[in-house]
A and B are shown apart, each in its own frame.
Chain A
Amino acid sequence: NAGVTQTPKFQVLKTGQSMTLQCAQDMNHNSMYWYRQDPGMGLRLIYYSASEGTTDKGEVPNGYNVSRLNKREFSLRLESAAPSQTSVYFCASSEAFTVGANVLTFGAGSRLTVL
């Protein structure tokens, strides 16, 4: 009953440090996404991967990189963390992004604090 698993759940970084958020899904979904959630802002798309081997920028990609390692895994990397990247990050997946209503399944979120 795993669905979408994100690690770590919590992380504190200093400005300039790097880190990678890991995401894995076990539903054989084709598409995966990274969102960030900030107070009063809703969720905003950082990057997405429509299918294995492809990645594209979303609304707020600056300061991030992603890797679609295989069909199951989609990682988000902060190369040089900034306080503005303090947020809660959500990974999500869907069967496909061009078919039907594209219902997203979300992970539990990762709270990142950059000091």
Chain B
Amino acid sequence: AQTVTQSQPEMSVQEAETVTLSCTYDTSESDYYLFWYKQPPSRQMILVIRQEAYKQQNATENRFSVNFQKAAKSFSLKISDSQLGDAAMYFCAYRSGGSNYKLTFGKGTLLTVNP
């Protein structure tokens, strides 16, 4: 079974600086997808970024980018120019590329942004 590990329960960053959130996963599959979701205090889960395992190029969405290391099974999220609105719980998630519906989540990293 796939597992997703987020080793940092909490992180903090100064406004305008850069922070990296870590995620590792365990799988024997070669075809899969990885996601970062954000959960602000409002509780709603919001997709931040996604990465297809077959793509070597790291995904980027504005200030958010990932460092996808397939061999190391690592998928970290970098937030540049951090803003107060980035404060939230961040979840890393894994989905098999086959017909398996299941999205497996890590336990989350709580990010605090200090003004």
Known contacts A88-B43, A106-B44, A109-B44: A97-B101 contact under CB 8 Å: yes
Contact with B along A94-115 (1 / 0, CB 8 A): 0001100111111111000000
Closest residue to A98 on the B side, CB-wise? B99
CB-based contact B47/A107 at 8 Å:
no
**Considering only CB atoms and an 8 Å cut-off, how many residues of chain B contact the other chain?**
22
CB-based contact A104/B106 at 8 Å:
no
CB-based contact B45/A104 at 8 Å:
yes
Contact with B along A67-99 (1 / 0, CB 8 A): 000000000000000000000101010000110
CB-based contact A40/B107 at 8 Å:
yes
**CB proximity of A63 to chain B, nearest CB, Å:** 20
B contact face: mostly helix, strand, loop, or mixed: strand
Is residue A61 contacting chain B, with contact meaning CB distance below 8 A? no
A residues less than 8 Å from B102 (CB atoms): 45, 58-59
A-B pairs, 10 with minimum CB distance = A106-B45, A42-B105, A97-B101, A109-B43, A101-B33, A43-B105, A42-B107, A108-B44, A98-B99, A101-B50
Which residues of B pack against A, CB within 8 Å?
4, 33, 35, 37, 42-47, 50, 52, 91, 95, 99, 101-103, 105-108
Q: A97-B101, A106-B44 are in contact. List 15 more A-B contacts (CB 8 A).
A: A40-B107, A42-B105, A43-B105, A45-B103, A58-B102, A98-B99, A101-B33, A101-B50, A101-B52, A101-B95, A102-B103, A104-B45, A104-B47, A107-B44, A109-B44
Which residues of A pack against B, CB within 8 Å?
31, 40-45, 48, 50, 56, 58-59, 88, 90, 92, 97-98, 101-109
